Structure 1
Amino acid sequence: MKNILVPTDFSLEAHYAFEAAVRLAQHTGGQVTLLHTVELPGGNETAGFSTYGSPVNGSVLPNNTTSTGGLDGLFAHKLMQVNTERLHQLVAEAAGWAPDVAVQELMRPTSLNEAILTAIAQQHIDLVVMGVQAHTASEHFFSTSNTEQLMRTAPCPVLAV
């Protein structure tokens, strides 16, 4: 397992998965890619009007920056900045546990499963390690987790931690 992908939502479960992946990479001489996704308002199609009342595609905001979504665009931009910093912190933390393991960060403005499947193909991922939350029987009956969906569609093994 040379290339390990770890999707994170910064939850405790995702952190456990990240730790497990780093330790596994340490023993196999592998590397870890830490992935976080942000689904932007309106997805990639942001036709319409911003909250300022101007067209959203390439609109100029009051602070002279361009955005594709008015206040939504400002929020998404800030969210991505904050989460990029959180990714940096996780990478620095991993350097303390396993300084010999290379950890790279990926931030994608898309759905989780789409980002994972794209990363698997582009990064030549051998294993996906995901943190899972315990569900009651009724919660499990009414919902399918991202991990379960990925286990059905991924072209590589998925380890649920």
Structure 2
Amino acid sequence: MKNILVPTDFSAAAERAFRAAFEIASQSGGNITLYHSLIPLESVFIETDEKRRQYNRQTKANVRKRMRRLINKVAGGSEVEISTVISHLPVISSVLEYGQDNDIDLIIMGTQGASGLKKVVLGSIAAAVAGKSNIPVLLVPENAVWQKPGHIVFATGCREADENATAYILQFAKIYRATVEAVHLYKDDPDNTEKEKKDFTLYKSYLQKTFGKTNLKFRLIKTASVKSSIEMLDTSVPYDMMAMVRRRKTLLERFFLTNLTRNMACVTSKPLLIVPETIKSKKAGA
């Protein structure tokens, strides 16, 4: 995790995300880009051109001061390299574009809390970035306090196409020498149980052959409701962080999986790592 991008709006949630990024960068030897998207005042109906330019210059200067104060508050005196960027584009598109153009390995963002599946984070910036980014996104819940993850649950769909995403999750876990537990939940259906067990066994064998001896464990869970069980997974399989793959979906999967991934960002109290299926493999240590 050499290059970490942290968008900030200076909220408490964004500060928690920055603190998490600082801890990860400290452990991995990475650097951080603290990023703020500033929409300039351009309306011709507000004051004169010169007044608007003065306002925008002052606003940008104020943002730079706030970024410096935040860096001093979180990382003052450390050796972690932290740079700042102020963009003038809409926040979602600018974050995605900056990440692609600057070889970013991980985007870390804070999320706001909510209650239940019906209060989805579809409209939030963090969810929108996580839903579109070709770069892994770590979402840090509003009330979470970042701590060294010792146990990472990888909620898997048992697909060999997830190989690159799995490699990324294992690379992240290696920073903390954490155990990754691949957990597959399937609906209780007598007609499908044997197939699920067989598929999981093949998937487990494939990952073990691909990644060799790693801190990778496996668990198959039968449940009446996959959606409810994954939201409450921490009660039966305690973990410090969850990882999920955001995949290119068929029409049927799009409704369920998109909402499930975003809902997890909403209801979980633990950090959530969302890795795109399309992530490209990088050399070890990259």
Give the TM-score of the pair, scaled to structure 2. Answer: 0.45
The Cα offsets for residues 26-73 of structure 1, whole Å up to 9 and x where unpaired, read as 11110110001111234xxx6x56623xxx4xxxx3xxxxxxxxx333
| 8 A contact 1:91–1:104 mirrored in 2 | no
The Cα offsets for residues 82-122 of structure 1, whole Å up to 9 and x where unpaired, read as 011111112223433x7121110001111111221121022
Tell me the CA shift for residue 11 of structure 1. 0.5
| 8 A contact 2:19–2:74 mirrored in 1 | yes
- Measured at CA, do residues 142 and 124 of structure 1 come closer, stay the same or move farther in structure 2, by a change above 3 Å? closer
State the alpha-carbon separation in 2 of the partners of residues 99 and 120 from structure 1. Answer: 24
Structure 1: which amino acid aligns with 2:22? V
Structure 1 residue ranges, 4+ long, deviating more than 6 angstroms after superposition: none
Paired residues for 1:135-146 under 5 Å: 135-137=114-116, 140-141=119-120, 144-146=123-125
Correspondence for 2:259? none
Pick from 58, 73, 78 the counterpart of residue 78 of structure 1.
58
- Name structure 2 gaps, 5 residues minimum: 141-286
Pick from 136, 143, 147 the counterpart of residue 126 of structure 2.
147
Correspondence for 2:37? 37
Give the TM-score of the pair, scaled to structure 1. Answer: 0.76
Pick from 91, 98, 108 the counterpart of residue 119 of structure 1.
98
- Name structure 1 gaps, 5 residues minimum: 62-70
Tell me the CA shift for residue 139 of structure 1. 8.0
- Measured at CA, do residues 14 and 50 of structure 1 come closer, stay the same or move farther in structure 2, by a change above 3 Å? closer
Correspondence for 2:68? 88
Paired residues for 1:49-88 under 5 Å: 51-52=47-48, 56=49, 61=50, 71-88=51-68
Q: Which has the higher contact order (CA 8 A, sep 6+)?
A: 1
Tell me the CA shift for residue 75 of structure 1. 2.3
Q: 3-state SS of the aligned residue for 2:58?
A: helix
Structure 2: which amino acid aligns with 1:75? Y
Percent identity reads 29
